[in-house]
Amino acid sequence: MWLQIIMIVVAVPFGLDHPKSLFAHFATAMHGRHAWVRRVAGVTSASMPDVPDEPAPNLLDLAEQAWRGELDLRFEHHPVHRYYPGACRLTDGLLGFKGIAGFYVVDSGDGLVMLDAGHLLDVKRCFEEVRREWPDTPVAAAIYSHHHVDHVFSVTAFDMEAEKRGWPRPTVYAHERVPDHFDRYQATLGWNTAINRRQFAIDAPHYRWPESYRYPDVLYRRNLTFCRGDLTFELTHGRGETDDVTWTWIPERRILHTGDLFIWAVPNAGNPQKVQRYVGDWADSLERMLPLGAEILLPGHGLPILGADRVRRALQGTARYMRSIEEQSVAAMNRGLSLDQVVQAVTPPADLADEPYLQPVYDDPSFLVRMVWRRYGGWWDGEFDSVVPAAKREQAEAWVELAGGVERVIERARASSAAGRHAVACHLIEAARHAAPESAAVHETRAAIYRENAGRQPSSMARNILNHAALASDQGRRDLASDD
């Protein structure tokens, strides 16, 4: 079962071609996980899923290959979707894990400190690998880089262990906004279930967003420094993927934990379904890291970067990318352009196009522009017909009637797709779907057109959302994440 889960996580970026049953297994596994996490330190091994037989890869070897541009980050070694089993000793006293997110455990000389805590899928292997490396050293502290569910779960296992062994519970440090976001998750469980089914193309009726969270113990606003054993942990707040980001500097070891401010891809600052993200502030944080002279960069996703020159290049390149997107977008907005015009006006810096850590394999650069618009603009996109619009169905019926009926629109949509005008084909078939929601011919064409467009997207986020529409039309529906 556990091996299946791993395979499914690995398979998600290949979801276009994989049977839906894979996603159903994933959902079942996720659904059962909450109770398991609560019991993790007390259950018998027979009731826990097995660690996969596949040997743990050497993350340092992969990191070297990634830096040289030798890894397929779009599929096989996707920085978010690829799950590597086991753990890897990155240097003395530093254990690295890469599940959906990367997370790390450092030996301070007086207890272990976790830099992020992984996803629910990581809890068991995190506990086992930490205990294999350090059988009797308590986890003294953990730092959450932000509130996202791929970064916060494994502390639970060490809380339970502490209770059993009579140790103090780990102290969890986080930015002061983190608890508000956990509260927000609990208030919007249905919404977060729906949007993540789309983002990860999970066709799984039982999939549910996690309901319970391990809240932090110590909150801070701008900076916080604590010492443990031989090490100093300097926490700094920033805004980027979220407004509750913490990045951590350990000066004695020259280790920089960026959290999701660095993810081995175009930064995830544009995600179409998520709350506000911060493109320019992202650059601010990366620029603040530069003078530290870090020698080990531990990222939120993807593989570590080793060596001061490489770390500098990665931070500088990513900062310049984000600064450029923000400045171009704001300059276009200052000309009073519409959202569409702003999106068309912005291009990422061409000289960074070949940097292996800045490929658009997760977020799509145009999504970042839209996020800048949302930060400084309103919900209106600047198109005069959309400020008090007709219902989508009413609009679609008018266009389809003008075109001469649904069959004509289907025909034109297929022709557009065949001619390589995939986005236009999606617009046309979507109008047909709104005008004729029950039509089998519309759904058959819609599934084919979205699937074709999905397969051409370098961004897995775009690919999965488009693929989600195809999966829905396979079932004669508009959207599997709602009752539509």
Question: From edge to edge, which strands make up the β-sheet containing 305-306?
Answer: 223-228, 231-238, 245-250, 255-259, 296-299, 305-306
Q: Per CB under 5 A, which of residues 286..315 are in contact with Zn ion?
A: 300
Question: Token digits for 37?
Answer: 């996490």
Q: Is position 101 an interface residue for Zn ion (rule: CB under 5 A)?
A: yes
Closer residue to Zn ion in complex, CB, 111/216: 216
Q: How far is the CB of 260 from Zn ion (least distance, A)?
A: 5
H or E element at residue 245 = strand 245-250
Stretch of residues binding Zn ion (CB under 5 A), selected from 100-108, 206-214, 383-391, 432-440:
100-108
Q: How far apart are CA 464 and CA 286, in angstroms?
A: 29
Closer residue to Zn ion in complex, CB, 80/436: 80
Stretch of residues binding Zn ion (CB under 5 A), selected from 67-75, 144-152, 180-188, 218-226:
144-152
Q: How far is the CB of 198 from Zn ion (least distance, A)?
A: 17
Q: Per CB under 5 A, which of residues 254..283 are in contact with Zn ion?
A: 260
Closer residue to Zn ion in complex, CB, 119/422: 119
Closer residue to Zn ion in complex, CB, 158/262: 262
Q: How far is the CB of 118 from Zn ion (least distance, A)?
A: 10
Any residues with CB less than 8 A from the CB of 136 and at least 6 apart, and which? none
Cα dist from 77 to 135, 151, 159, 448, 455, whole Å? 31, 19, 32, 27, 17
Which 8-state DSSP code applies to residue 100? S
Contact between 55 and 6 under an 8 Å Cβ cutoff? The reply is no
Question: Token digits for 39?
Answer: 């019991």
- # of chain residues touching Zn ion (CB under 5 A): 5
Q: Is position 116 an interface residue for Zn ion (rule: CB under 5 A)?
A: no
Burial class (CB within 10 angstroms; exposed 0-12, middle 13-18, buried 19+) of 211: exposed
Q: How far is the CB of 300 from Zn ion (least distance, A)?
A: 5
Q: How far is the CB of 116 from Zn ion (least distance, A)?
A: 9
Q: How far apart are CA 421 and CA 400, in angstroms?
A: 19
Stretch of residues binding Zn ion (CB under 5 A), selected from 105-113, 146-154, 155-163, 415-423:
146-154
Q: How far apart are CA 356 and CA 25, in angstroms?
A: 33
> Bridge-partner residues for 395, per DSSP?
none
Closest CA to 147 of 119, 128, 167, 105: 119
Q: How far is the CB of 86 from Zn ion (least distance, A)?
A: 20
Q: Per CB under 5 A, which of residues 367..426 are in contact with Zn ion?
A: none
Closer residue to Zn ion in complex, CB, 93/300: 300
Q: How far apart are CA 239 and CA 14, in angstroms?
A: 31
- Strand ranges (E), 94-183: 94-98, 102-107, 112-115, 139-143, 171-175
Q: How far is the CB of 269 from Zn ion (least distance, A)?
A: 12
Tell me the three state secondary structure of residue 373: helix
Q: Per CB under 5 A, which of residues 4..23 are in contact with Zn ion?
A: none
Strands 296-299 and 255-259: parallel
Interior angle at CA 6, CA 37 and CA 453, nearest 5: 120
Closer residue to Zn ion in complex, CB, 152/413: 152
Considering only 122, 129, 150, 161, the residue that binds Zn ion (CB under 5 A) is: 150
Q: How far is the CB of 252 from Zn ion (least distance, A)?
A: 26
Q: Is position 342 an interface residue for Zn ion (rule: CB under 5 A)?
A: no
Closer residue to Zn ion in complex, CB, 156/242: 242
Q: Per CB under 5 A, which of residues 38..57 are in contact with Zn ion?
A: none
Stretch of residues binding Zn ion (CB under 5 A), selected from 150-158, 225-233, 377-385, 462-470:
150-158
Stretch of residues binding Zn ion (CB under 5 A), selected from 140-148, 305-313, 450-458, 463-471:
140-148
Q: How far is the CB of 52 from Zn ion (least distance, A)?
A: 22
Q: How far is the CB of 110 from Zn ion (least distance, A)?
A: 29
Closer residue to Zn ion in complex, CB, 258/359: 258
Stretch of residues binding Zn ion (CB under 5 A), selected from 27-35, 94-102, 109-117, 170-178:
94-102
Any residues with CB less than 8 A from the CB of 235 and at least 6 apart, and which? 143, 173, 220, 223, 224, 225, 226, 246, 247, 248
Closer residue to Zn ion in complex, CB, 156/258: 258
Q: Which residues bind Zn ion (CB under 5 A)?
A: 101, 148, 150, 260, 300
